[in-house]
Amino acid sequence: MARKARGTRANGTGEPVVELNALSDLPRPLPPGKYVVQEPGGPRTEITVTSPAGKTTAPITGATKRARLTTRRTTKPVSIDAAAVDAYSATHALRRLVNALGRSAVAQLLGVSDSQPGRWLAGTDRLSQANEQAVLDLDFVLSLLLTQMSPAAAGVWLVSANAHLGGARPVDALALRGQAPVAAAIQSLAAGAFA
């Protein structure tokens, strides 16, 4: 845990120093200032940060190098393969739902006609933004639910009144309020809470 040591002098400058017990206590990104790191049983290492990017003026030591690497890791963008993006689309989630539940059950859970999921999958009709969100929410809830119970029990749970949702059926709460309250009810179930 970080604590500010008032009156501590670093390199005779008279500036306050933030003393840390471990490198993991370093704030991210490192704001300009002086840091003293002393891991249990290790030497005291002084780090002077002159820019928010984490560039230091202290000699590079093991602690300084690790702090720099950690700072860089948090700011570097993640590269996502464009070819893999389709696997995260609503159409892919819809295909997964139809394979697991059947077209008619998916249509019923989404509140659309029985033939609509087939038209979406065939590309005849395009998913609206609202239907796309409903498909993604249902896919998330089903994947979370299947980690807690069998497919048969999950099917019953989705259409049964639930005390965690104020007596509403999870499928209705999903349509009206989105996946957050339903996910919370599933997590309560996972924690062994019964309302």
134-172 pLDDT per residue, tens: 999 999 999 999 998 888 898 899 999 999 999 999 989
Q: Note whether 182 and 110 are same-domain residues.
A: yes
User: Residue 195 domain-assigned?
Assistant: no
At residue 28, the pLDDT reads 57
Q: Note whether 119 and 186 are same-domain residues.
A: yes
Q: In terms of residue numbers, what domain contains 130?
A: 82-190
At residue 82, the pLDDT reads 73
CA distance 64 to 70: 10
User: Residue 34 domain-assigned?
Assistant: yes
Q: Note whether 102 and 21 are same-domain residues.
A: no
At residue 127, the pLDDT reads 92
Total-model pTM: 0.57
At residue 167, the pLDDT reads 92
User: Residue 44 domain-assigned?
Assistant: yes
Q: Note whether 66 and 162 are same-domain residues.
A: no
**Which residue, of 51, 75, 99, is where some domain finishes?**
75
Q: Note whether 101 and 162 are same-domain residues.
A: yes
CA distance 4 to 51: 20
At residue 129, the pLDDT reads 92
Ramachandran region, residue 192 (left: φ > 0; alpha: ψ -120 to 50; beta: rest):
left
CA distance 195 to 193: 6
Q: Note whether 86 and 139 are same-domain residues.
A: yes
Question: Structural domain tally of the chain?
Answer: 2
Q: Note whether 158 and 63 are same-domain residues.
A: no
In this prediction, the residues of the chain whose per-residue pLDDT falls under 70 are: 1-76, 193-195
Q: Note whether 165 and 120 are same-domain residues.
A: yes
Q: Note whether 174 and 97 are same-domain residues.
A: yes
**Which residue, of 75, 110, 138, is where some domain finishes?**
75
**Which residue, of 75, 98, 127, is where some domain finishes?**
75
At residue 2, the pLDDT reads 43
